A and B are shown apart, each in its own frame.
Chain A
């Protein structure tokens, strides 16, 4: 039986990959020590799913009314070209003070998203429509070019053993998200 949680020991170092925090310091996912950590991939230019998800998560945090040290929300930008620490700070602060934005390069993001069994990538807008942009070409395109990242829309709940204990899916309401976070403490 696969079991209730997902852990991938071979990739465990993915949670120790150094990333740039919105404060400018270098951190890893394991630097966050709350018993429940929520990890979400996104980008600040995202018009719909990212802000909606962060709004719901922030509202759920207010609903459960736990000490700030109990829950860390980690927002990992898949768009390091546009998302600077300053932009991330402004963005995450707009939702909740327990949300911290992190930035990684494409290689780092690949290792981390593999741990969470998901993918990310970029589409370049051309006159022929959206065209895939190979990950190794992302660094070469200008920040003001017309590209759009794609990423998982799910929020992953990690315990201190680095197991993914639950998921918050697209469409979950605030009450369900609060309940899911509460359940992760059990």
Chain B
């Protein structure tokens, strides 16, 4: 593919790799390999420098990993058998060899990282921060490929389906910057629509930053969707022509859209309206408004996109929506508020950390059976699995 060739041609810049014996990692269970990253769920703690590892084949604790700093984000590469943890207010990132569960020398990426994102080729990683810096690294060679500065913000990142471009949503500037990996720079900007009423985004004379979601891609990767939550708008993007395709007025406070893998629907969950708009993926017409009674934080689908789970933004509930009947099926009440969810690549299990507890909930997507798994680590959030991609390119 083009990207493979192009990336090989990139000039790799030298990076500083720090070495510190104090960055130890402690495998508290045993030293069995957890290298099949797509089999394991990794959940960091927000208050302890530790990570819980759950085996998604049997829902048992596979390992507890220790770091020397609290992780704010995890990135897992299946092909490199590598877990990367980023840390707030530190330019060092932690590396863990999943084959041996041992720590590797940390890397200094020269900037703090509020987010990290795995490239579709599973070898490169992008790191971004609130200061408007984003850098791309080859994690096989541990070399920085390039860095872009002076963005409004760089925490809202999405790669194109072939990995040749990185889309960065900049809320304050109301635009999307498109970075081409071959050019190593911003090659285009897509201006987002102005708010329909000027009061939408200002208090007195003060401009307020709109709340904008990350971009979700359609299954074929050619179309992108994002929600301007604070303005009740969904923007549909042509990710090839790098232009806006359509602007859709939706209900109150839409969160990140979700495109089903069969290209049937685009699902728009709403936080304030406690509903889902179901859009026909081809016509982009609204086919159904499903009241869920749950203020949406995010939405995941499972079992061949026949069911959707809406995670609540402020309660202990998950709304289960039947995507065959396009109707609310039931509401699952957990023992604590769910964090973001993650569905295994076989689409049969949904995992979510129970916010600020030591527990993870596993929901069997087909039977809806809920299992709560206890760990010895508190403050869990931000679950990750290596590969959830179910399309071979």
Contact between chains at A2 and B392 (CB < 8 Å): no
Q: How large is the interface on A (under 10, 10 to 19, 20 to 34, 35 or more residues)?
A: 35 or more
Does B346 have its Cβ within 8 Å of any Cβ on chain A?
A: yes
| CB nearest to A176 among chain B residues | B57
Q: Is B240 an interface residue (CB 8 A)?
A: yes
List of B residues within 8 angstroms of A176 by Cβ? 57
Tell whether A129 pairs with B3 under 8 Å between CB atoms, given A2-B303, A150-B220: yes
- Establish whether residues A3 and B347, one from each chain, have CB atoms under 8 Å apart when the complex forms: no
How many residues of chain B have a CB within 8 Å of chain A? Answer: 45
Asked if B1 lies at the interface with its beta carbon under 8 angstroms from chain A, I say yes
B359-393 to A contact mask, C-beta < 8 Å, 1/0: 00000001110000000000000000011011111
A145-160 with Cβ < 8 A to chain B: 148, 150-154
**Contact A123–B262 (Cβ < 8 Å):** no
Partner of A114, one of B39, B262, B303, B323: B262
- On whether the beta carbons of A170 and B220 are closer than 8 Å, the reply is no
Q: For A118, give its contact among B38, B240, B261, B322 (CB under 8 Å).
A: B261
CB distance from A152 to the nearest CB of B (A): 6
Contacts of B344 in A (CB 8 A): 169
Chain A residue numbers with a CB within 8 Å of B366 are 2-4
Across the interface, which residues of A come within 8 angstroms of B303, CB to CB? Answer: 2, 6, 167
Interface segment among B59-67, B123-131, B188-196, B304-312: the answer is B304-312
Task: Give the one of A4, A46, A117, A164 with max B CB within 10 A.
Answer: A117
Q: Find out whether the CB atom of A173 lies under 8 angstroms from the CB atom of B393.
A: no
CA distance A123 to B36 in the complex (A): 29
A182 smallest CB distance to B (angstroms): 14
Q: Is A13 an interface residue (CB 8 A)?
A: no
B235 at the interface (CB under 8 A from A): no
Contact of B392 among A46, A125, A167, A168 (CB under 8 A): A46
A23 within 8 A of B: no
Known: A1-B368, A4-B366, A46-B392. A132 touches B222 (CB 8 A): yes
Across the interface, do B306 and A129 meet the contact criterion of CB distance under 8 Å?
A: no
A154 and B240 alpha carbons, distance in the complex (Å): 27
Determine if A121 and B220 form an interchain contact, defined as CB atoms under 8 angstroms apart: yes
- Given contacts A1-B368, A117-B261, A148-B1, whether A169 and B345 have CB atoms under 8 Å apart is yes
What per-residue 1/0 map shows which CB atoms of A153-186 lie under 8 Å from chain B? 1100000000010111111110010000000000
Give the shortest distance, in Å, between B4 (CB) and chain A (any CB).
10
| CA A151 to CA B329, docked complex, whole Å | 30
Least CB separation from A125: chain B residue? B2
Chain A residues closer than 8 Å to B306, beta-carbon distance: 2, 6, 117
Inter-chain contact B345/A2, CB cutoff 8 Å: no
Instruction: Specify which of A6, A48, A166, A173 is in contact with B36 (CB 8 Å cutoff).
Output: A173
Shortest beta-carbon distance from A121 to chain B in Å: 5
Q: Which residues of B contact A4 (CB under 8 A)?
A: 366-367
Q: How far is the CA of A168 from the CA of B346 in the complex (A)?
A: 6
Beta-carbon contact of B347 and A129 below 8 Å: no
A residues within 8 A CB of B219?
A: 119
What distance in Å separates the Cβ of B119 from its nearest Cβ neighbour in chain A? 15
Q: Is B78 an interface residue (CB 8 A)?
A: yes
Partner of A150, one of B57, B78, B392: B392
In the complex, A126→B366 CA distance in Å?
A: 42
Contact, CB under 8 Å: A173 / B39:
yes
A50 at interface by CB-CB < 8 Å? yes
Report if B32 contacts A (CB, 8 A): no
Within 8 Å by CB of A171, from B2, B6, B38, lies B38
Interface CB pairs A-B, < 8 A, 17: A1-B368, A2-B322, A2-B324, A6-B303, A49-B392, A125-B2, A129-B3, A129-B164, A130-B162, A131-B240, A152-B390, A167-B346, A169-B344, A169-B348, A170-B387, A171-B37, A172-B346
Closest 7 CB pairs of A and B: A171-B38, A169-B346, A169-B345, A49-B392, A153-B392, A117-B262, A117-B304
